[in-house]
């Protein structure tokens, strides 16, 4: 088996790396101090096993798992003795180790990983949204007129109480509706909800910095819960 | 207050003397940085960030074999998440104790 180690703490990585040497046929391919670098690596490489720290700044271990289309076997590492049951909501998680990790417990986790077969073929993919979007346009009711808006012209849609503000490349429209209703009418391939108050046209992103995206001149916040879905959609180099 | 020691490090490293040395070197480098980040966030009253810092420090507390301080850190982390920094003084004593010990290694 081969593996990678993801932990923001050098001490934790050193302990796991040292233990890996003691485990027969377990090769450490890479180590990462943050999850984003690991995602980039996994876009181009296949690994059998990941030792993954749950608590990392900005991007937790669980956020990381949700970005993986076909997650490999994962052994979680944590400083939390009373570890949350959330770990077992993912079929890819084999075991979890409490830091500092002793060698006997580590070897037991590796053995479990070798024998581990996921119960189902289920992945960490979130449930797919059923969109009834058809064609390239959306009609909105403004002052008793049905106005056609081309999907490609939409930049962002912002919730404003009982209204939504649709910002397009040429004009802005305020429509009496909810974000949920319009989200169901938009093609999934183009649009993404990144915050409870914002849906964005994914193809209009200029850049992403920390917890916000820049679209045209607007800086839109990314909520913590929506960040993994956004990261998963990015074609990271 | 419990005193830091190297028993846990020896237990993890077994007979690998070089690995023991490597762990101590990393702790000497990482601990002061982690403590500084924690103190900065606490002084700025960023209690949630401070709680994350305490969470991270738990590994160092545990590896320096400080069982009582580990329990204190668990309580303090939870209190910070609730916006209460009352245990900061006690935790600071733990940190200083660790820093003094590590500086002498």
Our CA-based measurement puts residue A120 at a distance from the nearest CA of chain B, in whole angstroms, of 34
Q: Is residue B14 within 8 angstroms of chain A, CB to CB?
A: yes
pTM of the complete model: 0.67
Q: What is the spatial distance between Cα A70 and Cα A112, in angstroms, rounded to a whole number?
A: 19
Q: Which of A163, A17, B29, A12 is nearest to A3 (CA)?
A: A17
Q: Which CATH number fits domain A137-233: 1.10.238.10, 3.20.20.70, 2.40.50.1020, 2.60.120.650?
A: 2.40.50.1020
Neighbours of A123 (CB within 10 A): 15
Residue ranges of domains in chain A: 2-115, 137-233
Buried b (16+ CB within 10 A) or exposed e, A104-117: eebeebbeebbebe
Q: What average pLDDT does this structure show over A103-122?
A: 79
Neighbours of B46 (CB within 10 A): 14
* pLDDT at residue B60, rounded to an integer: 96
Q: What is the spatial distance between Cα B20 and Cα B15, in angstroms, rounded to a whole number?
A: 9
pLDDT band at B26 (very low <50, low <70, confident <90, very high): very high
Please count the residue pairs, one from chain A and one from chain B, whose beta carbons lie less than 8 angstroms apart. Answer: 50
Q: What is the pLDDT of residues B70-105, one digit of tens each?
A: 999 999 999 999 999 999 999 999 999 999 999 998
Residue numbers in B near A81 (CB within 8 A): 74
Q: By CA distance, what is A105's nearest residue in B?
A: B12
Measured at the CA of A131, the angle between CA A179 and CA A167, to 5 degrees, comes to: 40
Q: By CA distance, what is A17's nearest residue in B?
A: B19
Q: Which of B59, B3, B94 is nearest to A15 (CA)?
A: B59
Q: What is the pLDDT of residues A156-175, one digit of tens each?
A: 999 988 889 999 988 888 88
DSSP three-state, residue A5: strand
**CATH number for the domain running over A2-115:** 3.40.50.2300
Please give the mean pLDDT across all residues of chain A: 84
* pLDDT at residue A122, rounded to an integer: 39
Q: Which of B30, B52, B74 sits opposite A9 (nearest CB)?
A: B30
SS3 sequence of A31-57: EECCHHHHHHHHHHCCCCEEEEECCCC
Our CA-based measurement puts residue A194 at a distance from the nearest CA of chain B, in whole angstroms, of 22
Using a CB–CB cut-off of 8 Å, the residues of A that contact B are 8-12, 14-15, 18, 55, 57, 79-81, 99-103
Q: What is the spatial distance between Cα A67 and Cα B54, in angstroms, rounded to a whole number?
A: 27
Pick from A25-34, A169-178, A179-188, A202-211 the range whose average pLDDT is largest. Answer: A25-34
| Percent of chain B residues past pLDDT 70, beyond the cut | 100
* pLDDT at residue B29, rounded to an integer: 96
Q: Is residue B36 within 8 angstroms of chain A, CB to CB?
A: no
Residue numbers in A near B74 (CB within 8 A): 81
CB contact under 8 A, A11 and B27: yes
User: What is the β-pairing status of strands A172-176 and A163-168?
Assistant: antiparallel
Question: Are the C-beta atoms of residues B96 and A113 closer than 8 Å to each other?
Answer: no
Looking at chain A, list the stretches that DSSP marks H as alpha helix, in order from N- to C-terminal side: 10-22, 35-44, 61-67, 103-115, 179-185, 227-233
């Amino acid at each position: 088996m081969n593996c990678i180690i993801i932990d923001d703490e050098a001490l934790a990585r050193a302990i796991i790396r040292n233990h890996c040497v003691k485990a027969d046929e377990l090769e450490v391919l890479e180590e990462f101090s943050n999850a984003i670098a690991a995602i980039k690596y996994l876009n181009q490489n296949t690994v059998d096993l990941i030792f993954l720290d749950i608590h990392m700044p900005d991007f937790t271990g669980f956020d990381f798992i949700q970005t993986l289309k076909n997650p490999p076997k994962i052994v979680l590492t944590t400083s939390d003795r009373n570890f949350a049951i959330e770990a077992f909501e993912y079929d890819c998680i084999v075991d979890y180790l409490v830091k500092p990790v002793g060698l006997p417990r580590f070897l037991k986790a590796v053995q479990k990983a070798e024998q581990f077969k996921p119960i189902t073929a289920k992945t960490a993919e979130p449930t797919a949204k059923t969109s009834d979007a058809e064609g390239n346009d959306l009609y909105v009711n403004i002052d008793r007129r049905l106005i056609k808006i081309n999907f490609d012209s939409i930049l962002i849609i912002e919730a404003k109480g009982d209204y939504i503000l649709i910002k397009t490349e040429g004009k802005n429209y305020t429509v009496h509706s909810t974000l949920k209703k319009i989200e169901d009418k938009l093609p999934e391939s183009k649009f993404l909800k990144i915050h409870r108050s914002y849906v964005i046209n994914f193809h209009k992103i200029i850049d992403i910095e920390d917890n916000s995206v820049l679209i045209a001149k607007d800086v839109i916040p990314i909520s913590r819960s929506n960040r993994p879905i956004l990261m998963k959609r990015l074609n990271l180099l | 207050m419990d005193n830091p020691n190297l028993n846990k490090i020896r237990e993890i490293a077994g007979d690998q003397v070089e690995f023991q040395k490597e762990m101590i070197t990393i702790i000497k480098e990482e601990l002061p940085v982690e403590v500084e980040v924690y103190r900065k966030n606490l002084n700025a009253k960023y209690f949630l960030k401070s709680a994350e810092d305490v969470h991270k420090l738990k590994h160092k507390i545990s590896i320096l074999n400080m069982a009582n301080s580990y329990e204190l850190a668990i309580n303090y982390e939870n209190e910070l998440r609730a916006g209460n920094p009352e245990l900061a003084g006690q935790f600071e004593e733990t940190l200083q104790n660790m820093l003094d010990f590590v500086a002498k290694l």
